[in-house]
């Protein structure tokens, strides 16, 4: 029985679970900041409105006896924050932004030793009316965070140490004081609407193929990017694989939320089409389109499917956007090397879970990177033309292509000794 893989592409954004944000508010130098933050999703306004109350306390003994005071506060705001303002109970505070995302807030009072100062910061984060994707980025010695999302949204937070309260018109997520904010938290909220459809036809070697993009209201820009990517990539995939588009059906690409993709960036379901996470890039779509060819090649190992899909993503990008191709290749190979000591395993028999999260994401990511490293080494070693010849042999096989057959066909097509790549597999 033929093994049917559910081709998926790992969601790179999951790696943000592990990224630390270098905030500068301190307790080490004798000051404390108690922060209360509210994030309110306002779909009709196209924004998340953020309000922060900050209680700044000077406990720095070096400022005793009027030897010094504090009059400014440095705070990190997201790079896409707009409409930034600050004020205390009496008047507006001055704000300087001279260090990228770090802002300096100028107090209206001198804060002497033992004194407190309360002020407020407000800003907006832009969102689409049916998709709200933003980061909670907090710091301070004691921070309370409240996130309010209107009812009707399917919401996913990248960490689970919150309390959830379902109110009449909203879901409220609360992080109590004492939560560690050394890392950011991605909020991904989607309100499903009836799907709209954007379509076009691409002329391929053996027939015309209709590409349909199913997307939510307000996501027209995403839909157009996906359509343009498919129309451009499919002819290149045909040419570089050496095989005409192998499926007998048209292609439907459906915008999906993170639960529908199991945490992955994309999911190729064959005749049912491709399900794409609404935050995924065009690179992920190229990967998923490549799976129509990996499926036709009768591969019986996941690393062949995923390694070749990522390799052909690189090959397509190298024709359409060489700088992005080089950057993606370098990132993948560097990630493989950086994770190898902690996560290495033989690719033979590699499998992935139906759903990924912070606990499984790094191992899954490493598997993808190792499969790409193997495939890229083949590409560099034998060249694209020999790979085309091998692809034709794979597709013509009446049996599943296992690892030994894979190596044998490639060796014959290229006249090369491929024993070196066995170290990836076994």
The CATH number of whichever domain residue 207 belongs to comes to 1.10.390.10
At 14 the pLDDT is 32
Residue 7 CA to chain centroid, in angstroms?
A: 17
pLDDT over 70 (residue 414): yes
Q: Which of 160, 183, 206 is the last residue of a domain?
A: 183
Residue 248's domain comprises 7-15+194-425
- For range 310-335, the mean pLDDT: 98
Residues 133 and 255 in one domain: no
**Distance between CA atoms of 230 and 211, rounded to whole angstroms?**
7
At 359 the pLDDT is 86
Residues 206 and 150 in one domain: no
Q: How many domains, the chain?
A: 2
The reported pTM is 0.84
Residues 169 and 217 in one domain: no
Residue recorded with tokens 């609407």: 193
**Distance between CA atoms of 194 and 275, rounded to whole angstroms?**
16
At 139 the pLDDT is 80
For 35, the token pair is 């922060």
pLDDT over 90 (residue 98): no
**Distance between CA atoms of 86 and 165, rounded to whole angstroms?**
29
pLDDT classification of 11: cutoffs 50, 70, 90? very low
The CATH number of whichever domain residue 121 belongs to comes to 2.60.40.1730
Residues in the chain: 426
The region of weakest confidence among 59-68, 85-94, 324-333, 370-379 is 59-68
The answer to whether 348 touches 325, Cβ cutoff 8 Å, is no
Residues 309 and 367 in one domain: yes
The answer to whether 283 touches 328, Cβ cutoff 8 Å, is yes
pLDDT classification of 396: cutoffs 50, 70, 90? very high
pLDDT classification of 8: cutoffs 50, 70, 90? low
For residue 145, the surrounding DSSP H or E stretch is strand 142-150
Residue of higher predicted confidence among 364 and 16: 364
**Distance between CA atoms of 299 and 307, rounded to whole angstroms?**
11
The answer to whether 96 touches 104, Cβ cutoff 8 Å, is yes
pLDDT classification of 141: cutoffs 50, 70, 90? low
Residue 188 lies in a domain: no
pLDDT over 90 (residue 342): yes
**Distance between CA atoms of 361 and 337, rounded to whole angstroms?**
17
Q: Indicate the average pLDDT of the chain.
A: 92
Q: What is the pLDDT of residues 20-51, one digit of tens each?
A: 333 334 344 678 999 999 999 999 999 999 99
Residue 189 lies in a domain: no
At 357 the pLDDT is 83
Residues 157 and 252 in one domain: no
At 358 the pLDDT is 79
Judged by DSSP in three states, 214 sits in strand
Q: How far are the Cα atoms of 252, 254, 284, 292, 301 from residue 289, in angstroms, in the given order?
A: 11, 13, 9, 6, 18
Judged by DSSP in three states, 201 sits in strand
Judged by DSSP in three states, 356 sits in coil
Single out the residue of 296, 278, 287 nearest to residue 316, CA to CA.
287
Residue 1 lies in a domain: no
Phi, psi of 188 (to 5 degrees): -130, 105
Residues 89 and 11 in one domain: no
CA 247-252-256 angle, to 5 degrees, is 130
pLDDT over 50 (residue 16): no
Q: Where are the alpha helices (DSSP H) in 113-189?
A: none
pLDDT over 70 (residue 338): yes
Q: Which of 159, 183, 207 is the last residue of a domain?
A: 183
Single out the residue of 383, 231, 261, 376 nearest to residue 312, CA to CA.
376
Residues 37 and 179 in one domain: yes
Judged by DSSP in three states, 336 sits in helix
Residues 205 and 176 in one domain: no
Residues 278 and 411 in one domain: yes
Residues 50 and 136 in one domain: yes
Residues 237 and 158 in one domain: no
Q: Which of 183, 211, 227 is the last residue of a domain?
A: 183
């Amino acid at each position: 029985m033929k093994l049917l893989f559910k081709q998926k592409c790992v969601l790179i954004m999951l790696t943000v679970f592990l990224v630390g944000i270098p905030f500068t508010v301190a307790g080490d130098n004798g000051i404390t900041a108690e922060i209360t933050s509210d994030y309110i999703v306002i779909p009709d306004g196209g924004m998340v409105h953020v309000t922060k109350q900050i209680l700044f306390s000077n406990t720095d003994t070096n400022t005793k006896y009027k030897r010094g005071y504090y009059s400014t506060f440095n705070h990190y705001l997201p790079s896409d924050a707009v409409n930034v303002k600050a004020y205390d109970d009496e008047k507006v505070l001055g704000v300087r932004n001279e260090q990228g995302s770090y802002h300096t807030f100028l107090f209206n009072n001198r804060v002497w030793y033992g004194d407190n100062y309360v002020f407020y910061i407000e800003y907006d984060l832009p969102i689409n009316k049916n998709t709200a994707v933003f980061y909670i980025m907090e710091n301070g010695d004691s921070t309370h965070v409240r996130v309010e999302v209107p009812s009707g949204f399917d919401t996913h937070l990248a960490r689970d140490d919150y309390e959830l309260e379902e109110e009449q018109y909203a879901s409220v997520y609360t992080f109590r004081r004492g939560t560690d904010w050394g890392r950011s938290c991605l909020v991904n909220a989607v309100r499903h609407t009836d799907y709209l459809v954007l379509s076009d036809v691409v002329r391929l070697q053996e027939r015309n193929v209709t590409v349909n993009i199913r997307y939510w209201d307000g996501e027209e820009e995403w839909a157009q990017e996906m359509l343009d990517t498919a129309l451009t990539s499919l002819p290149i995939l045909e040419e570089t694989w050496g095989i005409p588009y192998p499926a007998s059906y048209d292609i439907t690409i459906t915008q999906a939320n993170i639960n529908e993709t199991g945490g992955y960036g994309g999911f190729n379901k064959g005749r049912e089409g491709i399900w794409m996470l609404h935050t995924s890039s065009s690179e992920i779509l190229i990967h998923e389109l490549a799976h129509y060819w990996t499926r036709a090649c009768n591969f019986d190992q996941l690393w062949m499917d995923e390694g070749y899909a990522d390799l052909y993503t690189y090959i397509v990008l190298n024709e359409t956007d060489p700088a992005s191709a080089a950057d993606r290749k370098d990132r993948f190979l560097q990630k493989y090397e950086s994770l190898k000591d902690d996560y290495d395993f033989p690719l033979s028999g590699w499998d992935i879970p139906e759903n990924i999260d912070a606990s499984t994401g790094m191992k899954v990511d490493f598997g993808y990177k190792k499969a790409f490293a193997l495939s890229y080494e083949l590409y560099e070693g034998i060249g694209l033309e020999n790979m085309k010849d091998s692809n034709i042999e794979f597709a013509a096989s009446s049996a599943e292509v296992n690892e030994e057959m894979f190596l044998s066909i490639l060796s014959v097509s290229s006249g090369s000794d491929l024993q070196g790549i066995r170290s990836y597999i076994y």
